[in-house]
Amino acid sequence: MNNRKPEPLNASPVRRRCTICGNPSFSLSGVHPQCAAWKAGRLARDAQKAIAEAIPKPARPQWAQHKWAP
Ligand SMILES: [Zn+2]
């Protein structure tokens, strides 16, 4: 019994690989939407962390910085 499948008429196009996860991607940009969202979220989180670290924290709590406080 012959179980061979026929050869495809059109060769499958070469799939671009996602630059983030490395798996083949079918999107036009070549990057999975979920990978792009993950990277954007990570960049935003890192930016927020950098901003939070750049802002100097007061030595005393804000409620204790009043001039009448001891
Ligand atoms: Zn991906």
Structure tokens at 56: 């100097």
Could you tell me the distance, in angstroms and rounded to a whole number, from the CA of residue 38 to the centre of ligand 1?
9
Could you tell me the distance, in angstroms and rounded to a whole number, from the CA of residue 9 to the centre of ligand 1?
29
Residue 32: predicted pLDDT: 95
Could you tell me the distance, in angstroms and rounded to a whole number, from the CA of residue 27 to the centre of ligand 1?
10
What's the pLDDT tens digit per position in 2-60?
788 888 888 777 888 999 999 999 888 889 999 999 999 999 999 999 999 999 877 77
Which H or E run contains 47? helix 33-54
Task: Assess contact for 48 and 56: CB atoms under 8 A.
Answer: no
- For the entire predicted model, the pTM comes to 0.57
Which H or E run contains 25? strand 24-25
64, pLDDT greater than 80? no
Residue 1: predicted pLDDT: 64
Structure tokens at 49: 């962390």
Could you tell me the distance, in angstroms and rounded to a whole number, from the CA of residue 29 to the centre of ligand 1?
11
Structure tokens at 10: 């059109």
